Structure 1
C-alpha cells in the first residue's frame, strides 16, 4: 500500500492493489482519502474486503438469483403494476429454462436455445418477443455491472413460422378496424342498448380515438363544454384481483386535449341527466354507474362484443378496435399522420401507421374515381388510334 500526505496535517490518500476483476482479469486499484494516514489505510482495506466479498458472490450467482436482484431494481422505474407483473412472469419463464445456471455460463447458443424452446412450445409470437425483451434487459444490466463479460442475447433472433399465401391474403390489418358500412350497422345496434352510459361511452371511443382505460378514468372536470374539448390526463388500470386504480396515462405523449364534435358534446350533456333520472349517486367520474364507479375495461370490452354480435359483425371486437376505427376514419378524411398520432396520443407510430397506410374500401373507391377521371380519356384515345 502506498500513502501520501496531500495537505499537511489535514488530508492523506492511500492506494493499494485490489483483487483482479473476476471477469476480465484486469488489475484494479483502490484509492481512498481521509484526514489521517491510518484512517485512509483502514478505508482502503475495508473497500478491498468488500470487493473480495462481491467477487465471491458474483462468481457463482445464478440466473435465478441475478434476475431476482434485477427485478427489485426494475420496480423502482415507476412502471404500471400490470407491466411489473408481466416482467416478473417473463423472468420466471427464463428461470424455468436456465434459472439454475450461473450467469457466466450462459452462452449465445444457450440463450438462442431458450427462444427456440418457446417457439417449439407454440407460444404466441408477441409473448416470445416480450420475454426476449425482458431477457435482454436482465443480461444487459449484468454486463453493465461486470457480472458477465459478454451479453448472450445480443445476436439472438426470434424464430418465426413461414408465412403462407393464405396468411398473406387474409389481410389481418383490415380486421383491426371497422369499415364505414360495418360501423354504421354497429352504431345502429349501439343506439338500441339499454344503458345510456355505455351508449355515450362507445360513441366517445369511436369518435375521439381514446383508449378504453382513458375514457373510463374521465372525470366531469375533464369535459370542457365551452370549447367542445376533453382533457386526457389519466387512465383506469384494472388489477388482477379486480382492484381498479387511477394512474397516469401510458406515456406523457398520451396527455392531451381532444376536440369533439358537437353531437358527442350533446350526448355528454344528456348523460348527466340520464344518471340523475336513474338515481345514480353523485360521483366525480363522468361515466359513473349505479355504484358511483365507471365500468372497467373488461366490462367495456364485453359490452362492445355483445353489441357487435347482435349487429352481425364478424371481426374480433377487442378493446382497441374502436380506437383503430377512429384512426381509419381520420385517414380516409385526409388527416396527415402526425396530426392523427397527436390526437390519439401515440408515441410509437407502428400501430397507427399500419392502419393509416392500409387502403380502406372508401379510399379505394375514391382512388378509382380519380384514376377514371384522369386517365379515362387517355385510355379511350389509345384504343381509337388502333
Structure 2
C-alpha cells in the first residue's frame, strides 16, 4: 500500500517496489507535486496496478543513438553482414532526427512527422526499409522494458500518388526486363563483341534467373555436368568493390538454397570456359590464387559485381536497347520468359529461390508484350461471335 503524505503545500506518494537483489535494500518509487490528496492517491493506485501487472516502465534517459548501437550488437549475432549494413544505413536517417532524444520521449506523433518528412526525399520502398529497421530497434527496446509501446506501431507509410501524366509516361514495367528479341540482340552482341567471360556471364543470368551475387559466388564444384544442374549455396558480398576484400555469405533466405536444372547451351559454354580458364591458370601460375571460382579474374579472385555492371553497360551501348537495365534485370527477364512459357508459378518460385510466393507474384505482374498480346487474342477469340453480330 502506497504511503500518501503532504510535501509543503502539495501532496506526494511513496510506494514499495521490492528489494534490490545486489544491495538487499528496499526500492521505493516516489512522486510529488499533486495539488490534492485525491490526485496523489489516484496516481499511487495507478502506479501500483501497473507495477503489479508488470506494465510499469522505469524512467530512463537512455537516448536513441545508444539504443541503436546496443541493438546493432544484438542484431549482428544472427544477421548477415550485408543485412546489418543495410539496416545501419537506413537507421542513420532516424538517428539524425532522434539521436540525442531519450527513447521514452519519442512518441508516435513525432515519429510519424519524421516519416512524412523523409517521404518527400526518398522512394516509397526506401521509406519502408527505414521504417522496418526502426521498428526492429523499438521492438528491441520494448523487450528490454525500456518502453511500454513502440511508437512505430500503427504508423501510416505515405504512398506517392501518381498523376495521369505520370501514368502516361510510366514505362517502369517494361524497363525492368528485356523482351525476348532484346535479349537475343544483347547476347548476340556479347558473343560477337564481348570481352572474356561476357557471353557466359550474361547468358547464365538470363537462362537461370540467378541473383548476380549468387552467380559471382559460383564455383566449379557447384556444377554437375552429368545431371546438368547448378547448385546455389552461397552469395558474394563486397560493398567496397575491392577484389581482395570479398566475403561469401549464405544465400538471402532458406528458400534461396536450391539446385536448378540448366540449359544444354550453358553446359556447352561452361565446358568451353573451363578449358579457357585452365590456360589462364597455367600462364599465370606464379600469382594465380585458385579458389575454384567460375567467374574469376586472371589472378583467380571472383569478379566484382561492379566489374560485370561496367561490362554490361559497354555491351548495351552497342545495341539498339534504350532501357536503363542492370544485371538484376536479367532475373526479371528470366521470370517473364518462364511466364511466357506457361511455367507454373510454384515452379518459378522454387527456381528463383523466393521463400515467399508473394515476391514471385509481384514479379509475375511484369508481363512481356507477347503475353499481353496473347491475352488480347484469347479475349478476341472468345468474343468473336458476339463481335461479328455487332458489326453485321
- Scaled by the length of structure 2, the TM-score of the pair is 0.80
Q: Does the Cα contact within 8 Å between 1:196 and 1:274 map onto a contact in 2?
A: no
The CA deviation at 1:80 is 2.2
Deviations 1:85-135 (A, max 9, x none): 222233332221112211111111111111122124x12333222111111
The CA deviation at 1:70 is 1.5
Q: Is 1:60 the equivalent of 2:61?
A: yes
2:383 match: secondary structure: helix
Please state which structure has a larger fraction of its residues in helix: 1
Give the match for residue 340 of structure 2: 332
Give the match for residue 360 of structure 1: 368
2:76 match: secondary structure: helix
Instruction: Please give the alpha-carbon distance, in whole angstroms, between the structure 1 residues aligned to 2:100 and 2:258.
Output: 47
Q: Does the Cα contact within 8 Å between 1:253 and 1:345 map onto a contact in 2?
A: yes
Instruction: Please give the alpha-carbon distance, in whole angstroms, between the structure 2 residues aligned to 1:80 and 1:307.
Output: 33
Q: Which runs of 5 or more structure 1 residues have no equivalent in the other structure? A: 1-16, 18-24, 31-42
Q: How is 1:193-342 mapped onto 2 (pairs within 5 angstroms)?
A: 193-240=193-240, 242=242, 243-278=245-280, 279=283, 281=288, 282-342=290-350
Change (3 A) 1:58 1:72: farther
Worse-matched range after superposition: 65-74 or 349-358: 349-358
Give the match for residue 10 of structure 2: none
1:133 match: secondary structure: helix
Instruction: Please give the alpha-carbon distance, in whole angstroms, between the structure 2 residues aligned to 1:176 and 1:141.
Output: 37
Q: Does the Cα contact within 8 Å between 2:332 and 2:363 map onto a contact in 1?
A: yes
Instruction: Please give the alpha-carbon distance, in whole angstroms, between the structure 1 residues aligned to 2:237 and 2:212.
Output: 10
Change (3 A) 1:241 1:269: closer
Q: Which runs of 5 or more structure 2 residues have no equivalent in the other structure? A: 3-13, 30-55
Instruction: Please give the alpha-carbon distance, in whole angstroms, between the structure 2 residues aligned to 1:186 and 1:328.
Output: 16
Change (3 A) 1:161 1:380: closer
Give the match for residue 76 of structure 1: 77
The CA deviation at 1:234 is 0.6
The CA deviation at 1:82 is 2.4
Number of aligned residues = 345
Deviations 1:323-382 (A, max 9, x none): 110000000000111110100101234443233233321112323333444433443245
Deviations 1:65-98 (A, max 9, x none): 2222112111112x22222122223333222111
Instruction: Please give the alpha-carbon distance, in whole angstroms, between the structure 2 residues aligned to 1:231 and 1:261.
Output: 14
Q: How is 1:93-132 mapped onto 2 (pairs within 5 angstroms)?
A: 93-120=93-120, 122-132=121-131
Q: Does the Cα contact within 8 Å between 1:213 and 1:297 map onto a contact in 2?
A: yes
Instruction: Please give the alpha-carbon distance, in whole angstroms, between the structure 1 residues aligned to 2:227 and 2:361.
Output: 29
Give the match for residue 5 of structure 2: none
Worse-matched range after superposition: 130-139 or 166-175: 166-175
1:95 match: secondary structure: helix
Change (3 A) 1:100 1:335: same
Q: Does the Cα contact within 8 Å between 1:193 and 1:199 map onto a contact in 2?
A: no
Q: Does the Cα contact within 8 Å between 2:62 and 2:103 map onto a contact in 1?
A: yes
Instruction: Please give the alpha-carbon distance, in whole angstroms, between the structure 2 residues aligned to 1:348 and 1:184.
Output: 31
Instruction: Please give the alpha-carbon distance, in whole angstroms, between the structure 2 residues aligned to 1:47 and 1:153.
Output: 38
RMSD of aligned Cα (Å) = 2.8
Change (3 A) 1:349 1:26: farther
Q: Does the Cα contact within 8 Å between 1:173 and 1:355 map onto a contact in 2?
A: no
